A and B are shown apart, each in its own frame.
Chain A
Amino acid sequence: MSLLRQVLLDSHRIAALSAVEWDLLVRQARHANLLGRLYRRLQAADLLAQVPERPLHHMESAAVMADRQHMLVRYEIRFLRDTLAGLGLPLILLKGAAYVVGDLPAASGRVFADMDILLPRERLPEVESALIMTGWIGEPLDAYDQRYYRQWMHELPAMRQMHRGTALDVHHTILPPTARLKPDAQALIRDSVEIPGSPGMRTLQPTDMVLHSACHLFHDGESENLLRDLSDLDLLLRHFSREPNFWPQLVSRAAAMDLQMPLRLALRYLVQVLACPVPDSALQALKAERSQGVAEHTLDWIYSRTLRPQHSSTRDWATPLCRKLLYIRGHWLRMPPHLLFVHLARKAWVGPTTISAAALQNDPR
């Protein structure tokens, strides 16, 4: 078990760490994007006094960076709210921005690069125009990628604020329309809830926030932040489940939304990896207590590696294979076979066509 997971399961584990173990813990947490959250966790448990100076500085630094991003998000969303209000639409925040503005525990120490918002699909053209008028511009994409997004994806190509550099993803649902599972986007929007104290700003209702997070965790082919995403879910569930009836509501909402598969996987791995207190009734209702069939056992094998901090110390011979399989599975779930074949063939032939942000920030000073 990775050192990071040991500490996430039991914060008091840090009392016995040597300097070399602290070194490893900081590196694993940084690679899992959980360094800032680790700081907040130890702070909440009143354990910071037990952290040696050097590792403490690394954690503190990550927490400061997260705070800075949260401040930027709070600043930026007021402009977005006003832009959308002009079209008679509420601002529905998803993922990180929703956790931050909704003051949820899942915001704790969370670093994120972009804001995600949800809008009705039929309003996208006018929203896109209004955003462009207020300084949001699309990332440069070739014609193929433009069509890929607009025809097959659940979001517009990423936009960037030309004055402030903030990134924005505009979603019209939470899974691509081509995906096998078909959650009801209209219901997500209809049942969204206003954030107390933030008029005109909304989040998904608690059950839907969990389902979206689970969806993201098990559909996105990327494995960099899986443990962080699982930790988000853990914090969301521990928070929302203080409400009586939350678990039965979650289970029935998953059925109504066609999202039992991601919720089943999420709950199983939450119990296994982070000891999340999921009641047996919920696990049984979703048949999540144990894996069924070859396919699910294979998934367990893949996730046992990709849910580790993605650091050299937790890697073995099968890790690259598992990451590749996850990537293919992510696409498999999001596109029917004929589209997938054409898409992957093109990507293999032409290569990635967007310029990565990292490539642009390449000034070795």
Chain B
Amino acid sequence: MRVDQLSLPQVQAALTGAGLRVATGPFNCRLQSDIAAIASEVAQNYAHHRLLGPEEFIDFHVAVNTSRGLRRWIRPQALFSVDGVEPFTPLPRDQALPMIEWGLNWCITAYSNHVLILHAAAVARNGRTLILPAPPGSGKSTLCAALVNRGWRLLSDELSIIRLDTGAMLGLARPVNLKNASIGVIQRFAPQALFSRPVHDTTKGTVAMMAAPQASVEAVDEPAWPAWMVLPRYRAGASTTLTPMPRGEAFMKIADNAMNYHILAAEGFRAVGDLVDRCQHFSFEYSDLDEAMQVFDQLALSTADANIV
């Protein structure tokens, strides 16, 4: 059974009661919230995700609830917790919806040292994955959102997860977090996509969530292998250029963007090395999204063994 087979009152009852239990790739999540107003947007964000049965293991028991005390009444705040642990200070209650996503990302990075985790978007085509590691402001999320509306499968807009044993990628297919100007850009680029109401004045500015495409959610458990690592940079007026990157530099970029490279120690070094070996590496500058799509479609068409580097 999937979330969109529940009525809105049922989603609301689950959120405010025993929790909405959804599968997101390798992680099973139970979401609770006493903020009934977010139910419709949670239902939209997770419409195609599988509902878990009561007998299934839950990885993260998370809740976003209204802060207690005076704060319940004056400028209400929302507090994120995972099984009673509260990793963040409360935020204005308006931010409850993105807070679920930030919180789940925190859970994954805090509790998952059995995999290599990169701070990078990951999208796949025919089982081959394009990894986009980049600092905030580089246009990584915009590019990721655009690609998944043009036939690429969304693994994640924030966390690229790589198994240590096989080197395979694990997808989450959770909503994409869009910020500031890129919200409008993607709304124009993909009017059919589903967006949550923009939330203003967060630490990242204005944010809105774009639900993962249905096909990405349905394919979430299908295998995906790392194939390309592309470091994107948006620059107004730039012409679209894809430049091969030397392996050594690629290694350092990946290590820099790994959330748990230092925790995995020798195993992390080996995992990053394997990842570098499996991928072709590029840096990429763009200002026009349609041109960017063409470049990545070309890349996807190139044969697996055509080593451009």
Contact = CB atoms under 8 A, between A and B. Distances in A.
Nearest to B80: A364
Contacts of B84: 31, 311-312
Contacts of A55: 57
A64 B114 contact: yes
Given A19-B57, A61-B112, A365-B106, A359 B89 contact: yes
Contact of A60 (B28, B114, B203): B114
A22 interface: yes
B265 interface: yes
B103 interface: yes
A365 B61 contact: no
A364 B102 contact: yes
Contacts of B115: 57
B201 interface: no
A363 B61 CA distance: 20
A18 B55 contact: yes
Interface stretch (A65-73, A294-302, A322-330, A344-352): A65-73
A180 interface: no
Contacts of A320: none
A37 B269 CA distance: 25
B255 interface: no
Contacts of B99: 364
Given A61-B113, A359-B89, A20 B57 contact: yes
A67 B264 CA distance: 9
Nearest to B86: A358
Contact of A362 (B57, B89, B265, B267): B89
Given A61-B112, A364-B99, A54 B57 contact: yes
Given A67-B265, A364-B88, A52 B57 contact: yes
B59 A61 contact: no
Contacts of B105: 365
B51 to A, nearest CB: 15
A68 B263 CA distance: 6
B203 A54 contact: no
A27 interface: yes
Contacts of A30: 83
Nearest to B89: A362
A364 B55 contact: no
A364 B112 contact: no
A23 interface: yes
Interface residues of A, number: 29
A179 to B, nearest CB: 32
A4 B99 CA distance: 31
Nearest to A58: B111
B58 A23 contact: yes
Contacts of B80: 364
A365 B109 CA distance: 10
Interface string B201-220: 00100000000000000000
Contacts of A57: 112, 114-115
B114 A61 contact: yes
B78 to A, nearest CB: 11
Interface in A149-207: none
A27 B80 CA distance: 17
Interface string A285-317: 000000000000000000000000001100000
B58 A364 contact: no
B38 interface: no
Interface in A4-51: 18-20, 22-23, 27, 30-31
A364 B106 contact: yes
A71 B58 CA distance: 31
Contacts of A18: 55
A77 B89 CA distance: 34
Interface string B147-181: 00000000000100000000000000000000000
B55 A61 contact: no
A52 B59 CA distance: 12
Given A362-B88, A365-B105, A54 B59 contact: yes
A62 B264 CA distance: 11
B56 interface: yes
B245 interface: no
A67 B115 CA distance: 15
28 contacts: A19-B57, A23-B57, A23-B58, A27-B83, A54-B28, A54-B59, A55-B57, A58-B59, A58-B111, A60-B114, A61-B111, A61-B112, A64-B113, A64-B263, A65-B263, A68-B263, A311-B84, A312-B83, A358-B87, A359-B89, A362-B87, A362-B89, A364-B88, A364-B91, A364-B99, A364-B106, A365-B105, A365-B158
Closest 7 CB pairs of A and B: A64-B113, A61-B113, A364-B88, A19-B57, A57-B114, A364-B102, A60-B114
Interface of B: 28, 54-59, 61, 80, 83-84, 87-89, 91, 99, 102-103, 105-106, 111-115, 158, 203, 262-265, 267
Interface of A: 18-20, 22-23, 27, 30-31, 52, 54-55, 57-58, 60-62, 64-65, 67-68, 71, 311-312, 358-359, 362-365
Given A27-B83, A52-B57, A68-B262, 12 more contacts: A20-B54, A31-B84, A54-B28, A57-B114, A57-B115, A58-B111, A61-B111, A65-B263, A71-B265, A312-B83, A362-B87, A364-B91
